[in-house]
Structure 1
Amino acid sequence: MPSTRSIRPVDRAPALALKQTLKMARSAHAYVRGSTVQFYAWLEAQKRGTLPEGPAIWICGDCHAGNLGPVAGIDGRIDIQIRDFDQTVIGNPAHDLIRLALSLATASRGSDLPGVTTARILEQVIDGYQAALRHDADTIEDAPDTVQIVMKQSVGRSWKALAKERLEDPKPTIPLGTKFWPLARTERDQIEQLWETPALRHLATSLRSREDDAPVEVLDAAYWMKGCSSLGLLRFAVLLGIGKGKKRDLALMDVKEAVVAAAPRYARGKMPKDNAQRVVEGARHLSPHLGNRMEAGSIGKRSVFIRELLPQDLKIEIDRLTTKQAMKAASFLAGVVGKAHARQMDKATRQRWIKELERHRSRTLDAPSWLWSSVVALIGKHEVAYLEHCRRYASQNAAA
């Protein structure tokens, strides 16, 4: 197996497969985050009427807790919003709720919290989500400590902090190593051509008071080994120089391939046929701070979406939680998702959706039975699949 240092383009696939296997074997929570296809297969298998059917709106499609976090807008404001849209579709908003509840419940189990806490988490998910639909969800000041800490870090971060974290070097180069791998010559040429298009030049100059007609130069670019859930797809980090002389500014751009979403969608929902345009459109509806900083393009015949990485963009990492932290995180993060959904609905639609969510309330649990049964079934399926994944990973290592 090739080393993860200076991976050649022809060696990317096996190196990424190994990294993905290792990452998903670390914990059941990590496995849930990386096994979206299994989640969608379960959704597709549910009989009509088992889950509430919400209005046809843009949903995240992969709404686990790690895909939420602080995001900076073009105007510099920062808010907690959804931050990943590979799977965004016009679909059933209940799917986002179930995905979020599953990730929070798995994090709770990984923190060795009692099973009753999982039940309370689901209550908080519904309460926080419905509060957002009523426009009275918690504010940032009421966020759990884990979220407030990330927000404070986000507000105070600079370009140097971003360079140190992402590039490990504030100089205008992308150092090759474990994260960044060399490009094929054709890839470098295609990236150069990408920033010759008016839309991408405008994206590069739209932030930080840059002049509209400032020259844009590709200083460096590399394949970016990030996440590994998009195995085999293009992912590039591109360092741009914008302007000249003392006015030259640096920008780190994230270029990611878009493919057909696996998330279930409503047949009646009209979405762009181009997958990168679908991603950008979904982001603009669900997370305006991020969506308005994104643009669709193409590298060769492959559709890609592009955004500038800002120092303020961070993800919320939920590892070890107390019962109190788990409850507060569930309510707050569900409120974030609720706001993203609610901005796409008028008042009457929100009221109908709140009423639909109340179906099948339990006498002993202040959360709908459909949510409880969904999360319990999914935890069971994912736990079995996670242990099988670990067994295969251990066998592969023993044979290596």
Structure 2
Amino acid sequence: MLDVADEISRFNAGRDPERLAMKYARMRTSAFVFLRGTCHLFYKRVSKGSLLESSPHAWICGDMHLENFGSYKGDNRLIYFDINDFDEACLAPCLFEMIRLLTSVLVAADDLKLSRAEALALCHIAVDSYAAALRFGKARWIEEETAGGMVAELFAALHQRSRVDHLNRRTELKGKKRTLRVDGKKALPVTDKTREKITAFMGDLAGREPNPAFYEIIDVARRIAGTGSLGVDRYVILVEGKGSPDGNYLLDMKLALPSATAPNVNTLQPRWASEAERVVEIQRRDQVVSQAFLHAVEFEKRPYVLRGLQPSEDRVALENWNGKLPRLESVVRNMAELVAWAHFRSSGRQTSAIADDLIAFGEKSKWQLALIDLATQCEAQVVSDWQAYCKAFDAGAFDLTAKS
């Protein structure tokens, strides 16, 4: 019998204690947050029978859930709504992606104040939309002109927020110079030694870029973001960009660890040059346009993913569905379509299924209701594991202060 507390402790071993303590506390707050923080446990638990494993292979993000979508600026400077986290990305049967998305809908029902009937209705919307997108046979995308409902509202909100607003929320302005706001909520301080190392690293990186002055470092801090990766070595870096103070840019640099999903799928994975190369390459395949400044880099002989920093506000505020189910239906429909479109974009790459196989799978119907049934089983397991976690947490099993 799997010991939930032990499994979680072993998986998170070696992470930054200060940020890891935040992760453990957040996971105590709800089963949905727990789900987001335990991708490794979810895929270890899920029943890997013929339903999942007989589906066509695809390049999946590996940690699909309702919070893994958002707007971002592409390297073409246009804004899109798409899947936005690929830390756990790998090659797997395509339904491994959908089972986690459906489970997240069911587990998030309490947080979103959804009835059981409403949550199940959203699951049917997701499955129907995913299958329809596969049958359509072509990858599409969501930008401002094609967005509707709550996603359109997200794009509208972006118009009301300037780069200066983004900088002002993250930095302090003194005269014409900005410094990062180290508030214990979004950022924590770095040591002088770490600052020196990252400054030297960015200087070296700048020397290999067409516009070296853009990457001139102004400030750096440890970044607090996400749930699953909280505690992983991660930095927010303020650079010169297009000129101080209001042309500065914020970059995110995060250590790339091995996929937590890949060991739980019976699929041979290709050999990547590094874990950062894996994350970046699959993200480039799956997204309609690559995120701005996306790089696989090496810092201190370890692989990191460098990219533009995306504000947490760039996600749809699902809690604002205002009791009108069609508003959530529209978002969930978009999410399921984005999963299918990502699978088409990356089809036929390194043994992933070709488009014809994905289309044929979308035309089948037997898997659809069975997938929702499996999601209800996964939901029950997640809730049970969360309750076991809460009991261990309350007993002090995750008190890092007591252990130090």
Q: Is 1:352 matched with 2:353?
A: no
Match of residue 18, structure 2, among 15, 18, 25 = 15
Instruction: Give the number of aligned pairs.
Output: 372
1:71 paired to 2:72: yes
Question: What's the TM-score, normalizing by structure 1?
Answer: 0.81
Unaligned runs of 5+ residues in structure 2 are 1-13
Q: Secondary structure at the match of 1:280?
A: helix
Alignment correspondent of 1:35:
38
User: Residues 46 and 186 of structure 1: is their aligned pair in 2 closer, same or farther, counting only changes over 3 Å?
Assistant: same
Say which is worse superposed, 138-147 or 93-102, in terms of deviation.
Answer: 138-147
Aligned position for 1:286: 286
Matches within 5 A, 1:36-185: 36-43=39-46, 45-47=47-49, 49-133=50-134, 134=136, 135=138, 145-167=149-171, 172-178=178-184, 179-185=186-192
Aligned equivalent of 2:370: 370
The alignment partner of 1:173 has SS state of strand
Q: Which residue of 2 aligns with 1:192?
A: 199
**Are positions 1:252 and 2:253 aligned together?**
no
What is residue 8 of structure 1 aligned with on the other side? Answer: none
SS in structure 2 of the partner of residue 66 of structure 1: coil
CA distance, structure 2, for counterparts of residue 99 and residue 302 of structure 1: 30
Give the alignment's TM-score, normalised by structure 2.
0.81
Taking a change above 3 Å as real, the CA distance of residues 22 and 50 of structure 1, as seen in their structure-2 partners, is same
Amino acid at match of 1:36: C
Aligned partners of 1:72 and 1:312 also within 8 Å: no
Deviation string 1:279-320 (CA, Å, 9 cap, x unpaired) is 110110112434463101122122111012267981234236
* 2:256–2:303 CA contact under 8 A, matched in 1: yes
| CA root-mean-square deviation | 3.2
Amino acid paired to 2:260: A
SS at match of 2:226: coil
Q: CA deviation at 1:53?
A: 3.3
CA drift of 1:81 comes to: 0.8
1:338 maps onto 2:340 in alignment: yes
Q: 1:355 to 1:244 in 2, by over 3 A?
A: closer
SS of alignment partner, residue 252 of structure 1: strand
Deviates more, 1:336-345 or 1:168-177: 168-177
Q: Deviations over 1:58-101 (max 9, x none)?
A: 21001111110111112221111111111111222211111111
- Write the letter of the residue equivalent to 2:315: K
Specify the code of the residue in structure 2 equivalent to 1:177.
Answer: D
Which letter maps to 1:181?
Answer: L
Whole-angstrom CA distance in 2 between matches of 1:198 and 1:113: 48
CA–CA separation in structure 1 for the residues paired with 2:107 and 2:178: 40
- Is the 2:62–2:261 Cα contact (8 Å) retained in structure 1? yes
Secondary structure of the 1:121 match is: helix
Check the 8 A contact 1:195/1:216 in 2, yes or no: yes
Q: Quick one: distance in 2 between partners of 1:175 and 1:167? A: 5
* CA shift for structure 1 position 19: 1.1
Partner of 1:4: none
Separation in 2, partners of 1:198, 1:24: 36
Query: 1:250, CA displacement in angstroms?
Result: 1.0
253-262 or 178-187, larger mean C-alpha shift: 178-187
Deviation per residue, 1:360-383 (Å, 9 max, x gap): 63xxxxx71331122111110111
Q: Secondary structure at the match of 1:260?
A: coil
Q: Is the 8 A contact 1:201 1:216 kept in 2?
A: no
* 1:126-150 per-position Cα deviation (integer Å, ceiling 9, x unaligned): 2222333314879666756332221
Aligned residue for 2:388?
Answer: 388
Report the AA paired with residue 238 of structure 2.
Answer: L
CA contact (8 A) 2:71 2:79 kept: yes
Once residues 229 and 301 of structure 1 are traced to their aligned partners in structure 2, the CA distance between those partners, rounded to angstroms, is 23
For 2:162 and 2:16, the matched residues in 1 are separated by 34
Cα separation, 2, equivalents of 1:194 and 1:329: 40
**Could you tell me whether the CA contact under 8 Å between 1:107 and 1:318 is conserved in 2?**
no
Sequence identity (%): 24
User: 2:142, 2:251 → 1: CA distance?
Assistant: 30
Shift of 1:103: 1.4
Summarize the alignment of residues 213-292 of structure 1 with structure 2, pairs less than 5 Å apart.
Answer: 214=213, 216-242=215-241, 249-264=247-262, 267-291=267-291
Q: 1:325 is matched with which residue?
A: 327
CA contact (8 A) 1:220 1:240 kept: yes
Please give the per-residue CA displacement for 1:301-359, whole angstroms capped at 9, x wherever unaligned.
2211101226798123423643333322221211122111122237x933422433555
SS in 1 for 2:254: strand
Give distance in 2, aligned partners of 1:382 and 1:90. Answer: 24
Q: Give the SS at the match of 1:79.
A: strand
Distance 1:174 1:319, change over 3 A: same
CA contact (8 A) 2:102 2:372 kept: no
User: Where do 5+ consecutive residues of structure 1 fail to align?
Assistant: 1-10, 206-211, 362-366
Shift in Å at residue 37 of structure 1? Answer: 1.3
